[in-house]
């Protein structure tokens, strides 16, 4: 009667490098100038070079910062520094989490954290344009993953959270509330085949009170749980017959009231999705 409701594929998030939030201070020293550059990880195996000025022994001004670890390039930064930390506008490129290529981050930095408007481009093609708070995507933004799935809306702590719009490459669209990257709260999910659900969501699935219309003309309105009609509801079949009562995993269960298109009403008993004789 009704299909299980599936949420769109979770939006891929680009992992930002370790920045300065809640991090212990470590200082890498340029082997030529002796200028110090802040790091959030121990620096015994890291060599950092800075092309800009050095004020009070710390990297400052405009320049290029290069990190090398065990002879391999870890990342670069072109922009402003103050007190040995990233401060001001700049562009950072760093090893992708899977080690395949480099991710790119352009933003205004405050003590090593991207803050305010910025953008990212991951090595695999994911793109983000929006705002940062405390080093994470936070506030309004737009994210397009490598496959072409698009999310526009609010972010919190690096994940879609709040209210937003998603459009999947498979033709699915969603408009509504999210929490920690999944559908949560009230929303509208439209399938590529024209079927749609409007109502409550929990952990990415239809849950609570909602309405589902399939592409044959069937309509269910009532309670949902786990992505399926579960609870009290009303199903209107394509031929105009109405079934009112309790549903279990989208099938009528127990005693239900059936109203024919001509208005004739009967009480039927159903079990395991089948009418009992």
Residues 79-85: what's their mean pLDDT? 97
Torsion of CA 244, 246, 252, 256, to 10 degrees: -50
Mean residue pLDDT of the chain comes to 89
- The tens digit of pLDDT for each residue in 127-151 reads 999 999 988 999 999 999 999 999 9
- The tens digit of pLDDT for each residue in 8-57 reads 333 333 444 444 444 567 898 999 999 999 987 766 788 999 999 999 99
pTM of structure: 0.84
Domains of the chain: 17-134 (no CATH), 149-271 (2.60.450.20)
Residues 103-129: what's their mean pLDDT? 95
Separation between Cα atoms, residue 223 and residue 61, nearest integer Å: 61
């Amino acid at each position: 009667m009704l299909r299980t409701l599936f949420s769109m594929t979770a939006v891929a998030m680009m992992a930002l490098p370790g920045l300065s939030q809640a991090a212990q201070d470590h200082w890498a020293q340029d082997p030529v100038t002796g200028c110090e550059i802040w790091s959030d990880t121990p620096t015994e195996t890291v060599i950092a070079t800075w092309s800009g000025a050095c004020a009070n022994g710390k990297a400052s001004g405009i320049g290029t910062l290069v990190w090398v670890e065990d002879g391999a390039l870890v990342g670069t930064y072109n922009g402003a520094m103050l007190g040995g930390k990233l401060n001001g506008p700049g562009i950072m490129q760093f090893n992708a989490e899977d080690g395949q290529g480099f991710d790119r981050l352009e933003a205004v930095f405050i003590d090593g954290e991207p803050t305010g408007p910025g953008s990212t481009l991951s090595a695999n093609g994911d793109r983000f344009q929006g705002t940062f708070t405390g080093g994470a995507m936070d506030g309004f933004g737009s994210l397009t993953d490598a496959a072409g799935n698009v999310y526009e809306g609010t972010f919190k702590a690096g994940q879609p959270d709040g209210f937003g719009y998603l459009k999947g490459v498979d033709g699915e669209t969603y408009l509504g509330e999210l929490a920690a990257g999944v559908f949560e709260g009230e929303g509208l999910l439209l399938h590529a085949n024209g079927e749609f659900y409007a109502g409550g969501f929990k952990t990415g699935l239809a849950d609570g009170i909602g309405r589902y219309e399939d592409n044959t003309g069937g309509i269910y309105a009532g309670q949902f749980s786990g992505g399926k009609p579960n609870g009290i509801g009303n199903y209107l079949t394509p031929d105009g017959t109405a079934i009112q009562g309790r549903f279990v995993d989208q099938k009528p269960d127990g005693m239900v009231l059936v109203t024919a298109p001509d208005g004739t009403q009967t009480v039927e008993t159903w079990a395991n999705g089948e009418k009992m004789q």
